Amino acid sequence: MTLKTIKHTILVLLGLLMLYQFIPIGDYCNGLLNGLLFLALGALFLLAFLIILFFDIIKRVKHKQPFDFIPLAIFIIIVGSNYSLLKTDNKKFWTTEVLVGDLENNNFSRTNRIILYKNNSFAITSYRADYSCTIQGHYALKGDTLKLNRKGLSKLTDNAFTSHYIISKRDSTFVALDTNFKTIKINTLSKGF
């Protein structure tokens, strides 16, 4: 491996590590630690870029070697990608939301939200004071019945959600078939759902 390849590899690896934590694939949790990790990786990425840039400028001035624009391109792509992913707020940017609902809850230390997507996937997020966890799966909608297809959903959500709900369009709610679970209040509903 040449020195040029090593420089490019370091920048790409640090950039991908920064990007990885913002791509909402599978189940995941976010919190203060993720923010600190992002800042640390961002600082390392910026420091590596500045050191590489500094030595490339010295080579250009002293030795009349051509300037290596690849680190600059990598920097711009990684910063732009991170900015775009931060703006999506951990939502699935490759599909659109068709329904957003909140679990009716009197417990202010924790709130729960469900998002149904156009590609028949769902995300249930449990927000706590210092972190949030998201569980994902697929759903099926038959008539006025919503079925969340995820094994052990009740256990994974600390008995906040169940697998089967009935849509009450009059009240804008999903009512659980099992009476031990609370109602989901529909906040946002796209046309055609």
In percent, the amount of the chain with pLDDT more than 70 equals 94
d(CA 79, CA 181): 43
Q: Give the pLDDT band of residue 119 (cuts 50, 70, 90).
A: very high
Q: Which of 105, 104, 101 is nearest to 115 (CA)?
A: 101
d(CA 145, CA 128): 29
d(CA 112, CA 6): 45
Q: Give the pLDDT band of residue 179 (cuts 50, 70, 90).
A: confident
Taking the CA atoms of 52, 57, 58 and 59 in sequence, report the sign of the dihedral they define. Answer: positive
d(CA 150, CA 8): 41
- Say yes or no to pLDDT of 120 above 80: yes
pLDDT in tens, 58-110: 988 888 888 889 999 999 999 998 888 877 766 777 788 888 998 866 665 56
pLDDT in tens, 22-70: 777 788 888 888 889 999 999 999 999 999 999 999 988 888 888 889 9
- Say yes or no to pLDDT of 15 above 70: yes
pLDDT, averaged across the chain: 87
pLDDT of amino acid 108: 59
Name the residue ranges covered by the structural domains of the chain: 3-88, 97-189
Query: How many residues are given for the chain?
Result: 193
Q: Please, what CATH class does the domain formed by 97-189 belong to?
A: mainly beta
- Rg from Cα positions in the chain: 23
Q: Give the pLDDT band of residue 147 (cuts 50, 70, 90).
A: very high
- Say yes or no to pLDDT of 14 above 80: yes
pLDDT of amino acid 84: 85
What secondary structure, in 3-state letters, does 174-189 show? EEECCCCCCCEEEEEE
d(CA 177, CA 164): 6
d(CA 167, CA 186): 10
d(CA 72, CA 22): 22
Question: H helices of the chain, where?
Answer: 3-20, 32-63, 70-88, 153-156
